[in-house]
Amino acid sequence: MPRDEIYTEQNAATGTFEFSEAVAEVFPDMLKRSIPGYEASIRAIRSLAQQYVQPDSHCYDLGCSLGAATLAMREGINVAGCRIIAIDNAPAMVSRCKEIIAEDKSDISVDIIAGDVRYTDIDNASMVVMNYTLQFLPIDERQQMIGKIAKGMRPGGVFVLSEKVVDEDPGIEAMLIDLHHNFKRRHAYSELEISRKRAAIENVLVPESVAKHKERMRAAGFQHVGVWLRYFNFVSLVAIR
C-alpha cells in the first residue's frame, strides 16, 4: 500500500485539496490513517447489503472514489438481478476504481461512471451509499441531493450517509478535534502534515451537525433515520425509505 506523504515537508503540497492522481495513488493509506472507524463502516455496508438489497434493483455508490463501498455491497448482495452504479467526478479515482473492480471476481454487475452525483438519475434503488461525499457539495444543494435519492428508492430501501460532522457544543467540538489529531499522530502523521491537510481541506469539505443531517433526511421522506456508527467527529447514519 503506497504511503500517504502528500503533505510532508519534502513534498510541500500547497493549495486546496483535490482528488488528484497523487491522492488516488495513496488513498487507501490516507483513509486508514485519517478517518477513525472507516474500515468498520465498510464492513457494515456489506452487512446492510445482505439484509436490505432487493432482487432486480439498483445499488448506488455516490462518490465511489476507489470503490470500497462498491466492493462491500458486491460481497453482501445475495439476491438476483442487481446492478451497482458507482459514480465519481474525479478522473483519477474513476480510472483506478475501474482497475480495482476489474480484479474482483463477482457476478454482480457494476457500472463505473465518471460524472457529478448531483446530475445522476436515481431509480429503482434498494441501497444508496454516500460515503464521505455529501460534505463536498455546496450546502444549499444538499437537500435537493437527498431528496432525489429518496425519490428514486424503493420502499424499504436503505440509505447510508457517512460524514465528518461538527458538534453543536463548542467545547465538545474542540475535544473531538483534539482526539482526531491525536488519532493522526498515532498513525505517524507529523504536526506539519496535520496542519497542511487541515488548511488544504478548509472550505472544500464543509461539515454539518448530526441533527442537520437527520432533519434533511426526514424532510426528504425517509421513515427511519439514525446514527449507526460514530468515532469522534466521523459519523455514519442509516435511513430506511
Mean pLDDT (the chain) is 94
Q: DSSP class of residue 53?
A: P
**E strand segments, 152-201:** 153-164
pLDDT tens sequence across 191-238:
999 998 888 888 889 999 999 999 999 999 999 999 999 999 999 999
Q: DSSP class of residue 187?
A: T
Do the Cβ atoms of 65 and 27 come closer than 8 Å?
A: yes
| 207 vs 13: which has the higher pLDDT | 207
pTM: 0.93
Q: What is the pLDDT of residue 150?
A: 98
Domain ranges of the chain: 38-166+208-240
Chain-centroid distance, C-alpha 149:
15
Q: Dihedral sign, CA of 29, 33, 34, 38?
A: positive
| C-alpha cell belonging to residue 5 | 506523504
Closest Cα to residue 209, out of 169, 158, 156? 169
* Distance between CA atoms of residues 227 and 36, nearest Å: 15
CATH of 38-166+208-240, one of 3.30.450.40, 3.40.50.150, 3.30.200.20, 1.10.3720.10: 3.40.50.150
